[in-house]
Each structure stands twice: as C-alpha cells, then as structure tokens.
Amino acid sequence: MNMHDQPDQLVALITGAGTGIGFEICRLLASQGVYVMLNDVDPLLTEKASQTINKAYPGFCKGCPGDAGDTDFIVQMVRETVREFGSLDLVVANAGITLFGEFLNYKEADFHKVMQLNLAGTFFLAQQASRQMIAQNRGGSLLFMSSVTGHQAHKNLAAYGMSKAALEMLAKTLVLELSPYKINVNTVAPGATITERTAQEAGYAETWSRITPMGRPARPQDIAEAVAFLVSPRARHITGQSLVIDGGWTATSPSPYT
C-alpha cells in the first residue's frame, strides 16, 4: 500500500506495541482512521498484533519487527513507515525496559540496557521522525512514554525511574527546537497498569486496587485514550507537558511494598 495520493491521511509509528499499552494505542488509532506502523522486538508478536488490528480495520496496520533501541534500525523503521504509507505524522515512543535491582548492587550492563532502549531509543527515534516531519512541512506530534516512577521513588527502580524522568525533560527541551516546525512533543506517565506482564505478578491487581484512590489499576485503554488525544490535531497547542495517568496514586503515594 502506498498513501502518496492521500496527503491528508495521518500516519503513526508506535514502538513496543506487540502487547499491552502499545498495542492498545495502535488499535485505538487505527479505529480512528490513522494508518499505523506497529513495532515490537518480537517478530511473532509483531505479526500477531498487526494481523489482529487488520482483522478489525483492514489495511490500517503494518508490522515492523526490530530493536527500537538500535539506532540503525530506527532509521530503517522510519524509512519503512514512509515507504509503506507515504508520510509520518505521529510517533509514540512506547518501547521500554524495566530491570529491577538494588542500587548498591546494580549491574552496569543492566544500567546500559535500560538507558539504551528507554533514553537513546526515544531520543533518536524523535530525531529521525522530526527530520521526516520537517521535510513534509506540515507539523506533527511526538509522544514519549514516561512513568509515575519518574515522579515518585520506587524501590529497586533507580535506573528506570531516572530514565523516565529524563524523558520528561527531553520533551520540555525539544519544545525550543521543534515548535518552529509545528511539531508538538509531550509525555504521559502511567501508573500501575494491568497488562499481560503485570497480570502475572502475584497480588499486583489487589495491591494497586487497594492503594489507588480510584479503586483499581489502569487498563491499557485508559492510557491509550490520553495518548490518542495528545497526538491528535486537537492537541497541537499542547506541548512540553507530562500527563500522569494513575487513578490519583501520586496524589497520596501509599507504598505498594507495605
């Protein structure tokens, strides 16, 4: 499929979208008529997820498997998106990794893994996507995936929380360089969310239901709805902001470890 003959059609690229929040963002955007390039590091997950979306919204999704922390792959992924759909207008840098560990014993290799995907992956995806959007001369939207751990301290997540706080500063800084090109950039910071991964953790839903003021953890749809708004044309005057989506947890911040 080539969308060169439809210049007004929005095209999105979402990383880390084989399951969970990323997949729900892809599904929701496709339901709104946005063409979606779905990335995941797992080729089988990428194929399965894109097929699922295409069953509901035929032709609106294509998979692009690969490591979203690899700068060479990022270049290829942006090129593939433009080659497939004709443009690139919306980017959600959702891919990320969490490696728990006590600060005093944290391994250097784990630190670099977290920073390479969470920070370098987001930074260079934003760079490549922005270059493409500037060349198109019609603006665009970038969305980074932060976390409540970038706002509140969590046990054994020093490196992860550090990376997420840094993404919020990156979004603010890019306002200076990207606003002249009508590209807005924001972050969302999800709290506890029930995904395929967290659903397997013993007591996760019960614990977070008890300590979240709204009485439950987030669902992927809760995060996706906010993301879809922030990358839409309706939100183009919102930039450099971070939206916490946590059912009120950061307002009170009871510990999940007690």
Residues forming the active site: 160, 164
**Token couple for 57:** 């919204």
Parallel, antiparallel, or unpaired: how do β-strands 242-245 and 140-145 relate? unpaired
From the number of C-beta atoms within 10 Å of its C-beta (0-12, 13-18, 19+), residue 83 rates as exposed
Tokens 């490696």 locate to 99
**Token couple for 170:** 């990156």
- The contacts of residue 122 (CB under 8 Å, 6+ apart) are 93, 144, 145, 167, 170
Tokens 């932060």 locate to 146
From the number of C-beta atoms within 10 Å of its C-beta (0-12, 13-18, 19+), residue 63 rates as buried
**Token couple for 32:** 């709104």
